[in-house]
Amino acid sequence: MEKQRRSSKVQDAKRRAVLDAGAAAFADAGLSGATMRAIAERAGVTTGTLYSMFDGKESIYAALLAQSLDRLHVAVAEAAASAPKPEQALRASVEAFYSYYEAKGPDFELGLYSFDKTSPISLGPDNDSSLNASLLRTLDVIGTAIARVAPSLPQERVTAERDAIFAALLGLLVMAKTGRARSIGTSPDTLLQTHLDALIARL
């Protein structure tokens, strides 16, 4: 039993090393430029060991993104759950989404696949489907908050408002990352609050 536990800890450590190496390789070379050999060298493992853990670099990228989306979901869900009133839950969930990515630049680039310069990118049908479902799970927390603020709103409208918030958040995060908000004399935080004020008033 003790031997199995040690073996499991070694495997976990190797997996963490591979994921860290993959993140560094993707940041340097993008998904298209990174290679399994380069990731293996960074992680200090053989390519054979690497292929025993992951089918290819797309699987490594997908694993990194899945972990990031799980952390995002926890942040957004906890923020919504901690707010006592519907409007507060809506604000808290949207702000948590923004704050998560604003504080974690690499996670934002990972989520946008902007570690790579080519477009569009697929990580394979199964990975794409799973990752999209993970993102929607978090967006549905925001959708649920919208429905709580406006209980009579049709589901199609709830979905449309949820998606509009997502699009706005992406734009605000790009502005925060590039500093473009300063060129029009404002800040992403100010724009976010203006958007939320208008949304709640409209609902």
pLDDT tens digit sequence for 24-75: 999 888 888 899 999 999 999 999 999 999 999 999 999 999 999 999 999 9
87 and 29: one domain? Answer: no
Contact assessment for residue 97 and residue 72, using Cβ atoms and an 8 Å cutoff:
yes
137 and 39: one domain? Answer: no
Q: Is 70 helix (H, G, I), strand (E, B) or coil?
A: helix
163 and 117: one domain? Answer: yes
pLDDT of amino acid 103: 92
149 and 131: one domain? Answer: yes
Number of domains in the chain: 2
Residue 151's nearest CA partner among 77, 87, 80 is 87
pTM of the model: 0.89
User: What is the domain range of residue 61?
Assistant: 57-202
pLDDT tens digit sequence for 152-166: 999 999 999 999 999
pLDDT tens digit sequence for 2-19: 555 655 677 888 899 999
At residue 117, does pLDDT exceed 70? no
Domain with 40 in it: what CATH number? 1.10.10.60
The two structure tokens encoding residue 61: 């990228």
Domain with 169 in it: what CATH number? 1.10.357.10
